[in-house]
Structure 1
Amino acid sequence: MIGSIPSSLTGGDHRHAVENDRFEAIWQNNRTGAGMFTSIGSTEATITVFLDDKPIQAREGETVAACLLRASVPYFRTTPVSGSARLPYCMIGLCFDCLIEIDGIGSRQACLSQVRHGMRLRTQEGAAAVAGEHLQ
C-alpha cells in the first residue's frame, strides 16, 4: 500500500487503518487523473468568468481560486521583487499568494472571493497599481 502507516506507530488502531485507506484512494485518484479536489456542491459549470480575456466555466458559489485551480491555471500572480509565479497556498485568506486582479481592482484574494457571471480577472504581474500613484 502506498503511504502505509506502520502498525507499530499506530498501535494497530482501526481508525488509522481507515484513514490510511482513504489516503490510498485519494492518491490513486490523483494518479488516474480524477484530481485532488472533490466537489461538494453542484458539478455543473453554469457561469462564465474571464481570465486575461479567456473564458473559463465556473460553478455557482465557488471561489475564484477554486475555479482557476480546477481550470489548471499555471499561476495567479508574480511577486514584485523576483517575479516568481504564485498559486494559492492556504485557501483561507492568510498567505496572500492567491492575489489577483478582479474587475479592475488589484491585490484581491481569490480564495475569499466568489465567482460572478461575467467577472473579469487578470493575472497580477508584480505589485498592483494604485490609482493616482506611480510605483517606482
Structure 2
Amino acid sequence: MPIPEPIAAIHSSLLRQAAPIFAIFPHPSDPPPVSDALSAVLPLVRWEGDRGTYHLVIFTGSEAEALTMHARLQRLEFGKRRGFGSVKVRVRVGETEWKSSVFPQKQQCEWVLLISKKVMQQENLAEGNPVKLKLELL
C-alpha cells in the first residue's frame, strides 16, 4: 500500500533533518573514514642525545596544526591519548615506506619524526638534505 502524500512529505522532511546525525553516527557496516594525509619537504636534522645521535625532521606551521588536531580528535574518540601524545603514521620517503609515530614537542607547536639509518641509506639521505615526505595519519 503506498504511503499517503502528506505522510510521505513529512517522512522526506524528517530524513533531510536527520542527515547530519547519520554523518556523526555512521552505520557499523560503513567503511571507516578516510585518514588524513600530509605532504612536506623538510630538512633532515641531526640531533645528539644522551643515548646517541638521531636524524629527524621537524613539522611546524600548518603541518603541525594538522597533527595536533588529529591527536585531539583521537583523544576525543578514544578517551585517552597515546604515549607521549604521539600520532601513528605511515611514512613514505621516495620508494621507502614504513609505519612510525610522530611526537609533539613541549608546546605542540612542532612535531618530530625520526628517520632511521636504514631509510637514510636506502634513499641516499644526509644531514641537511631536503626530505620529501608523505604521511598518512592512522
Measured against the shorter chain, the TM-score band is under 0.3
Higher strand residue share? 2
Higher relative contact order by CA 8 Å / sep ≥ 6: 1 or 2?
Answer: 2
Higher helix residue share? 2
TM-score (norm 1): 0.25
TM-score (norm 2): 0.25
Q: Which has the larger radius of gyration?
A: 2
